[in-house]
Amino acid sequence: MKIIINSDILYHSCLIRDNLSERLQKLFLECKNKGHIIVLPLTTLLEFNKKQSEFINKKISELENAYKLLSCFNIPFTRVEPSEIIKEPDLIELIKKCGIEVRVEKPTIDDFVEAHKRSCFRECPHSLNEKSDEMRDLIIWMIALRFARQDRGAILISQDVVHVHARGDDEANSVGLVRFKSVEEVLEYFDIETPAGILIRQLITPVWEDLLESGLPLSKEISLVGAMQPRFIQGTKGISNAYCMIKLRTTDGKTLKANIEMKIDNNVVKELKLSDILIDGKPWEKSYLALMPNKLYSSEQDDYNERIDSLKKLFGG
């Protein structure tokens, strides 16, 4: 899968010398382990280089002032030209140091034309209440959509309002573009790709309509972005109970957290309980929900009976 990154995610508050921040290194290592590819829109790279150039100029000025201060007090020193030791970081090489494939993507003519039209008419994903109509945001949006459409899914990491606003939900969902505001959210999302996370998604899928009908402000498409601390109880006919702390995306781009408990009988989700329901850290209008979906979920064939038979043979039974 392609991971498209905006410049605000790559931001550093100082000049980068040898390595990217620990949080970014962790992200790229996880992406590498899962076989993902990092995509930097050319706009992202240019903005990153612009900010780092500002830090370079500041450091050069500081070093020149230090030379002047030493000279003022007649303190001997060996002068080294600032341009020889203060270099612009190579973002591509820094990412490659993490062992992951990275590519810079130039916007196509079609990307430019569509972004220009949307900017002029303030079309989705623009928020009608926002004053900004920067082309750069829309160009990155078009690139992300293009990759998601080509690969049947992609991830966009950005804090820009245009990229995460609810007005973009329908278009993003239609091509499988998953959007996150932070590195931490992406790492949580990657947990869903673990066997435990995949099972939670399988259990959530058939009861999604029940969650919508309960009044939870969720999009029509499944918006599972985190499943932490999953626990399962195995019955003789498959999973009988499942627990986890779940994170879902609301229709207005906020994060809904809740503890979830599911009771399953013969691959049918009989009971669904949500407690401690929070939206962006604030209590929802209901702190507790109890639903009786009675929905069948599909999963890989469980090998419980095979394991029991093998155990019996091992002990001569």
Beta strand 288-291 with 268-279: parallel, antiparallel or unpaired?
A: antiparallel
CB of 196 closer than 8 Å to CB of 227: yes
- Give the position of tokens 């341009």: 83
Across 107-116, 129-138, 192-201, 294-303, which has the greatest mean pLDDT? 107-116
Q: Please list, in sequence order, all residues whose beta carbon lies within 8 angstroms of the beta carbon of residue 216, skipping any fewer than 6 positions away.
A: 248, 250, 256, 277, 284, 289
Q: Of the candidates 279, 174, 272, which has an alpha carbon nearest to the alpha carbon of residue 216? A: 279
Least confident range from 2-11, 112-121, 161-170, 211-220: namely 161-170
What's the CA gap between 246 and 233, in Å, rounded? 18
Domain ranges (residues) in the chain: 2-183, 192-304
The class (CATH top level) of 2-183 is alpha beta
CB of 178 closer than 8 Å to CB of 27: no
| Predicted pLDDT at 40 | 98
Which 3 state secondary structure label does DSSP give 259?
Answer: strand
| Predicted pLDDT at 316 | 61
Instruction: For residue 289, name the pLDDT band (cuts at 50, 70, 90).
Output: very high
What's the CA gap between 61 and 67, in Å, rounded? 10
- Give the position of tokens 């990412």: 95
What's the CA gap between 162 and 183, in Å, rounded? 18
Instruction: For residue 3, name the pLDDT band (cuts at 50, 70, 90).
Output: very high
| Predicted pLDDT at 302 | 47
Instruction: For residue 161, name the pLDDT band (cuts at 50, 70, 90).
Output: confident
Mean pLDDT of the chain: 89
CB of 144 closer than 8 Å to CB of 111: no
What's the CA gap between 79 and 13, in Å, rounded? 27
Instruction: For residue 64, name the pLDDT band (cuts at 50, 70, 90).
Output: very high
pLDDT digits (tens, 9 = 90+) for 221-258: 788 888 888 999 988 778 899 999 999 988 877 889 99
Question: Within 13 Å and on the Cβ side, how many CA atoms surround 314?
Answer: 6
| Predicted pLDDT at 300 | 56
CB of 34 closer than 8 Å to CB of 190: yes
CB of 265 closer than 8 Å to CB of 204: no
Q: Give the pLDDT mean for 59-78.
A: 96
Output the six-digit token pair for 155.
């991830």
Q: Which amino acid, 85?
A: I
- E-state strands within 79-200: 102-105, 154-157, 177-180
